[in-house]
């Protein structure tokens, strides 16, 4: 009976570790995507946050690997390493989630400041033209964010005609949806993997204790 219970715990821990590894891989891929796009979207995708996502995601994959191998070969050292990594990751992921969702609340003021500098700052002009054409959007919430500013032609995509509020080509969707979608996905992935890691921590203790009892028996 003890052997059957131990095997069940091992397989469950292996499955959890595998899911943790897969979620870490998806999060890493999103982090790489954000890093590659940070040159043109830096004002909406914060580069330091993206780097933090890369570090946490890579560590999650490594931790999941230790969990998979440790549970399958019943290695106590690997399980202890897995346990310690997961505990550290839990703290890191909680901090990362807080930073990600707090960043969203500050992004609008940064974007509106950049919009106000569109006609005086070449970097803001290049940034908004690239973002609005590529994402088919206009402004942060919508085209009204430009207020007294003349609408950039990029608000009408690739069409060469002057862009106005009555233009049939005007993008009515704001660019914030692109930023929020990216950070929501990453943030909720971190929450999901954190929940799995909490279960994995408890299960690791059970498996480790079962190993000890099995050896004594």
Average pLDDT, the chain: 84
- pLDDT higher than threshold 70 for residue 216: no
Please name which of 156, 184, 191 lies closest in space to residue 170, comparing C-alpha atoms. Answer: 156
Contact predicate 131/171, CB 8 Å: no
pLDDT at residue number 36: 78
> What's the CA gap between 181 and 177, in Å, rounded?
6
The predicted-structure confidence for 60-105, as pLDDT tens digits, reads as follows 999 999 999 988 888 888 989 999 999 999 999 999 999 888 877 7
Number of domains within the chain: 1
Cα–Cα distance for residue pair 152/160, rounded to 1 Å: 11
Long-range contacts (CB closer than 8 Å, 24 or more residues apart) made by 94-101: 94/194, 96/49, 96/52, 96/53, 96/56, 96/190, 97/187, 97/190, 97/191, 97/194, 99/49, 99/52, 100/49, 100/183, 100/186, 100/187, 100/190, 101/183, 101/187
For 46, the domain range is 2-216
| Count of C-beta atoms within a 10 Å radius of residue 192 | 16
pLDDT tens, position by position, 22-74: 999 999 998 888 787 665 555 556 778 888 999 999 999 999 999 999 888 88
Give me the DSSP letters along 28-97. Answer: HHHHHHHHHHHHHHTTTS-HHHHHHHHHHHHHHHHHHHHHHHHHHHT-HHHHHHHHHHHHHHHHHHHHHH
Torsion angle in degrees (nearest 10) through CA of 142, 143, 147, 149: 140
- Name which of 72, 66, 62 is nearest 27 in CA terms: 62
Structure confidence by residue, pLDDT tens digits, 175-215: 887 777 888 888 899 999 999 999 999 988 888 777 665 55
Half-sphere exposure of 163 (CA within 13 A, CB side): 23
What local confidence, expressed as pLDDT, does residue 217 receive?
47
Of these ranges, 5-9, 17-21, 119-123, 155-159, the one predicted with the greatest mean pLDDT is 17-21
Residues 94, 95, 96, 100, CA torsion sign: positive
The predicted pLDDT at position 71 comes to 85
């Amino acid at each position: 009976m003890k052997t059957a219970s131990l095997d069940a715990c091992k397989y469950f821990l292996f499955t959890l570790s595998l899911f943790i590894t897969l979620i870490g891989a998806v999060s890493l891929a999103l982090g790489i995507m954000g890093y590659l796009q940070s040159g043109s979207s830096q004002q909406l995708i914060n580069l330091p946050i993206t780097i933090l996502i890369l570090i946490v995601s890579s560590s999650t994959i490594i931790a999941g690997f230790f969990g998979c191998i440790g549970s399958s070969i019943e290695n106590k050292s690997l399980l202890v390493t897995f346990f310690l990594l997961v505990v550290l990751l839990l703290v890191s992921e909680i901090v990362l989630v807080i930073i990600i969702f707090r960043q969203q609340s500050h992004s609008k003021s940064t974007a509106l400041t950049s919009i106000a500098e569109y006609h005086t700052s070449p970097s803001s002009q290049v940034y908004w033209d690239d973002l609005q054409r590529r994402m088919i959007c206009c402004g942060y919430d919508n085209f009204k964010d430009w207020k007294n500013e003349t609408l950039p032609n990029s608000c009408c995509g690739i069409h060469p005609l002057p862009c106005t509020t009555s233009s049939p080509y005007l993008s009515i969707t704001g660019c914030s949806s692109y930023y929020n979608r990216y950070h929501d996905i990453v943030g909720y992935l971190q929450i999901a993997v954190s929940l799995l890691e909490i279960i994995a921590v408890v299960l690791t203790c059970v498996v480790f204790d079962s190993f000890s009892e099995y050896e004594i028996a």
